[in-house]
Structure 1
Amino acid sequence: MCGIQVLVARSGVEIGDYDQQWARLTAANSRRGPDAHNELTIQLAQATIRFGAHVLHLRGHQTQVQPIVDQHSGDILCWNGEVFDGLDVGDQNDGLLLMAEIQRQNIEAFRRIEGPYAFVYLDRAQSRLWFSRDYLGRRSLLMKQNGALLISSVADSAEENWTELSAKKAFCMDLDSFTITEHEWQSIPKVNQVIDNSLVSNVECSSLDNFPEISRWQPMVDQFKYELMSAIETRINSIPYHGAHQARVGLLFSGGVDCITIAALLTQILPQSEQIELFNVAFENPRLTSQCSDAPDRKTGLQGWRELCQIDPLRPWKFVEVDVPYSDVVEYQNHIRQLLVPSNSVMDMSIAMALWFASRGQGRLIHSDHQSTPYVGKSRVLLLGMGADEQLGGYSRHRSAWDSGGWERLGSEIDLDVQRIATRNLGRDDRVVSDNGKEARFPFLAANVVKFLSQTPLYYKMDMRYPRGIGEKLLLRLLAYQLGLVQASTLAKRAIQFGARTAKMQSGKSRGQDIL
């Protein structure tokens, strides 16, 4: 993972005029990649290009400095991503291997790989600069034109004119004419909307203890477990050890069914001696005059931690209470607002607050005897549950769609949500989490999981004829229940800004969609 920044100016333009903005971008991107920083400026016939890259070492035996320059062609790659499939990486550096693959396949090499990424690639022979994000938009990449072209993982300030690149396109700048063309990229699978009501005839159920016709669901539950576990394993097996007693992986942990299922599968993959960090964030909200311990996510988080300790009592689970006093909100809100750019709504800010403080990982470690000690998280990779709600019917609007139009309306709403995953909030979340020198990984958005869930008929994934806490994300709840997560399996969906209590921290009538 790294922070990317690139400046492209016409020959003859004094790039020193952009030094102050470049310095601000360097400061912002360096927090994303604290392990190595390098810059490179080249002069072409019609353009001057300045590359900067900041590396967070998460793969290979040694830190690979970027930009990566091919010694034969002179091509240059700034790579912020992880290759999880489509290229045999093993424990080698994926950026180096990808550069070698690009030399053989050119830009088509990116179509073959699976994983979250953003890149800028100079094809020197063709005088082309390519830049793009993966087709699900799991990494941030912004663009701005103000005389020169600026490309960066994160904006330099809260000023306007930064735009987030569409994840559905690859962009190419002709460095002779300075024109930018857009090219179709990979696409997200369409959702299977075929309905067979004969498989869901009995919907009388108030608990997963007596779920009817479980034998019909069992093959789907087993396959879902296989796909999700494969995604988790692929996302953690290459993380290097930074110390014998230092956690390699953590979770942003509310105790909800999405994150706790990931944790329960993760504990089946990692050696039992390995620590797993669970970061649970709660805020002092002056409007509510209550303690952090009263936050809904704190209560479900502790409950979920205890359930995990029951299913794997020998695992060194590290439950970290991240309590955020309102004074810290005031201190850091401008910094977090800058990270949001170009996202700019009240809801964006509420969510970003929770993600930033949780991923920072500074809090108190809770022990089994209820004592606590100060703690700072060690893991550099954080697993998040994003993508589960869109694919498995977890939002209230999905139940509303069912109420107004049955299976047909629900299917259309799910397909719409899946197709627009790439255009919504993952870039924002990457900017916020990565600012703490951490990398977010999303098992529910692994290509194999998305493909499986898109092909699976709706009625195996959700059924809104069951009550809230069962009908939505039904397939996931059945898996959680079978993993021993009895209490967590029936917890209803709760948005992070309400669970952590970052929503409406000040008096007023602002709504989530209002502009900051």
Structure 2
Amino acid sequence: MCGIALILSGIRIDLSNLFPEFISPPPRPPQQVLYPIDDIKAALYRRGPDSIGSKNVFVSVNKSSSAGAEQDLSLVEVEVEDSHHCRTSCDLVNKESSGGASGFSHESFGELHFIGATLQLRGTKPIMQPLVDLSGNILVYNGEIFGGIYISRDSNDSEILMQYLGHCCSFASHDHNSKHSFCKDEETSVPEILSRIKGPWALIYWQNSSKTLWFGRDAFGRRSLLVHWPTPEDSRFLLTSVSPPSSECESSDFQESKGMCKLNFWEELPCGIYSISMAASKMDGCVFGELKKHKWTDSNLEELIQWERASVQPEADELSISCENAPLELSHKVLTVLRESVMRRTVLNRIYQTVSLGHGPEGYAPVAVLFSGGLDSMILSALLDQCLDPKYEIDLLNVSFDGLSAPDRISAQAGVKELETIAPSRRWKLVEIDADLMKLTSEMKHVMSLISPAKTYMDLNIGVALWLAAGGDGWIYEGMNHSGQRIKYKSEARILLVGSGADEQCAGYGRYKTKFRNGSWLALNEEMKLDMQRIWKRNLGRDDRCIADNGKEARFPFLDEDVIRSLLNIPLWEIADLNRPNGIGDKKILREVAQLLGLSGAAVLPKRAIQFGTRIARESNRKNFGSNRAANQASAGSVEIYSSSNFI
């Protein structure tokens, strides 16, 4: 999709269920707003959505003039603003309950401002978010549904999800972890619906009947959602897909708050489903909201989150058999489930229908691959070739900060030749994106806002490389087989396949070998589990924001639910054997998959992280620390940017 946001103000929120020591600050206008609504809208708008809209919900306390009467909440008004700034207004409640009648007056109210930016990739007709149904429910959704909820070929994910959510039980007082006794047989709860979804998502949903705000992100955090919890300095509750570069933070007269602006304002929302149920406070008559976090209701999903592998420690005979004759049926199973994952992420797209009707440009490439020429990107490219209609070209996006000498540029050029060998009828376009770090000052500042709340040099280096790659602005060769004149080219593909999750699940990082040597198979498994359970915080939110800023949607085939389950069902020693050399034992199962695809060259390539393969880390070390040696002595990768005076 593209991006979502919520600004909630004027409501005292009790966070004690999530943070026991939390004391709710009184809802009051902040003296200095670090991130006004217009900044958040601008950050979403620069992502290049097809449409962007917003809606305001005012929740007020009805104070009766009759003695002893109970206070109640009412929804006053929804205000709509679309991408053309055309404003309309519609009343979603009975006029008699919205003030001025029956002795009621609105002395206090809270405001919920929903923003939805849509990059439409599915469905046959355009939609605009936020979506509002006849019951007054409101949805902003950033995600794709690849299973769990049926989506027909001509339907849009958001519209179908809105229909399902509209039939959910509205009893917000219970914990939604099991069916409530008051729910009708045909009704389900909001967590039950969200737990069914297979695919990446982040969501904000207003359930009008219960006056409850629902929000959350999928169990692996494949879509970004940042949160600002209320503080005494800013009592608003904020959710957004991306941290905007605040105009206040950049001003010279705002230095005192600069530290909080940079470091403490936003957090990655932990994966899960949350609700805030609105009520009238008995203490002060203000609008009051209670936060709860809800459990996933799907047991299969819970098993994936726990990431428990059945077979971790091999017997001596099992390991010797594996080394001598790896069971090919396991590799075939992984190949099959990966192919299905790529298929789910590259079909049923509205952009395909547009091209098939003759409206697309000649030589159109609807899907691109973040391409280093390494094992993971080569597998994704070969599988994409098997899934995508032969008439389409495929863009392979490759970044280099050292021209032709960067390791990723060398392996990418070799990788294209290998892909041309196994799929000669396909037009492969290697998009060579050449970058000079010394000339990217303004771009670096912008990417800093995208990676926030991440704040190390390693995060920034990775973020810049991803951001440039997703932009797709580079060079290609006119002729086939990487020949002919080199010409300027900008990839228009709106879907970008990324290999995230392959290293965590298949022991691709170098530190895994250290863990294995020091603690054997059990220690290796625990380190891999740790990485999978924190990938939402360390990787995926950051990567999603940097890619989406270019109007592209990142899709992660290795993090498909079925792929994760299949890999967990394989004994660890068949996934990787770190007794063997690099390029053989690490990611062993994926190397076997590459061989099955005919990618014998890629099958033996060692792991190389994007910051090293593109050589941005080397250039960053020279720029910010003077040399690679000085950077290594300072452990530059983990150094926080704001603690160094060298940056920019």
TM-score, normalization by structure 1: 0.92
Residue equivalent to 1:198: 317
Corresponding residue SS for 1:493: coil
- Describe the superposition over 1:408-462 as per-residue Cα deviations: whole angstroms up to 9, x where unpaired: 2222222222233333210010010000000000000000000111121101111
Mapped partners of 1:409, 1:123: distance in 2: 45
Mapped partners of 1:293, 1:14: distance in 2: 54
Corresponding residue SS for 1:86: coil
CA 1:219–1:423: 2 relative to 1, 3 Å: same
Mapped partners of 1:388, 1:20: distance in 2: 36
Residue equivalent to 2:151: 89
Mapped partners of 1:134, 1:488: distance in 2: 32
Corresponding residue SS for 1:101: helix
**Structure 2: which amino acid aligns with 1:512?**
G
Residue equivalent to 2:123: 60
1:354 has 2:465 as partner: yes
Corresponding residue SS for 1:137: coil
1:110 has 2:224 as partner: no
1:161 has 2:265 as partner: yes
Residue equivalent to 2:141: 79
- Describe the superposition over 1:380-431 as per-residue Cα deviations: whole angstroms up to 9, x where unpaired: 0000000000000101111111211222222222222223333321001001
Mapped partners of 1:507, 1:381: distance in 2: 34
Shift of 1:141: 0.6
Mapped partners of 2:497, 2:460: distance in 1: 21
Shift of 1:126: 1.1
8 Å CA contact 1:9–1:15 kept in 2: the answer is no
CA RMSD of aligned residues (A): 2.0
Identity rate of aligned residues, in percent?
A: 36
Corresponding residue SS for 1:195: coil
Residue equivalent to 1:475: 589
**Structure 2: which amino acid aligns with 1:456?**
I
8 Å CA contact 1:77–1:121 kept in 2: the answer is yes
Which one of 361, 368, 379 corresponds to residue 250 of structure 1?
368
Residue equivalent to 2:517: 403
1:28 has 2:153 as partner: no
Aligned length: 498
Larger radius of gyration: 2
Corresponding residue SS for 1:308: helix
1:41 has 2:145 as partner: no
Corresponding residue SS for 2:616: coil
**Structure 1: which amino acid aligns with 2:554?**
A
1:173 has 2:276 as partner: yes
CA 1:151–1:87: 2 relative to 1, 3 Å: same
Corresponding residue SS for 1:201: helix
Shift of 1:248: 0.9
1:262 has 2:277 as partner: no
8 Å CA contact 1:21–1:156 kept in 2: the answer is no
Residue equivalent to 2:239: 151
Mapped partners of 1:132, 1:33: distance in 2: 24
Give 1:56-455 correspondences, 5 Å limit: 56-71=119-134, 73-91=135-153, 92-104=155-167, 105-107=188-190, 108-144=192-228, 145=230, 146-157=234-245, 159=261, 160-167=264-271, 169-176=272-279, 177-185=288-296, 187=302, 188=305, 189-192=307-310, 193-201=312-320, 212-214=324-326, 217-239=327-349, 240-241=351-352, 242=354, 243=360, 245=362, 246-283=364-401, 291-366=402-477, 367=479, 368=481, 369-455=483-569
Corresponding residue SS for 1:44: strand
Mapped partners of 1:262, 1:412: distance in 2: 27
Corresponding residue SS for 1:425: helix
Shift of 1:200: 2.5
Mapped partners of 1:500, 1:388: distance in 2: 19
Corresponding residue SS for 2:487: strand
List gaps (5 residues or longer) in structure 2.
12-26, 61-108, 168-187, 247-260, 280-287, 355-359, 626-630, 642-648
**Structure 1: which amino acid aligns with 2:55?**
L
8 Å CA contact 1:3–1:33 kept in 2: the answer is no
Mapped partners of 2:601, 2:421: distance in 1: 12
**Structure 1: which amino acid aligns with 2:294?**
H
Residue equivalent to 2:182: none
Which one of 593, 600, 612 corresponds to residue 486 of structure 1?
600
**Structure 1: which amino acid aligns with 2:270?**
S
8 Å CA contact 1:31–1:434 kept in 2: the answer is no
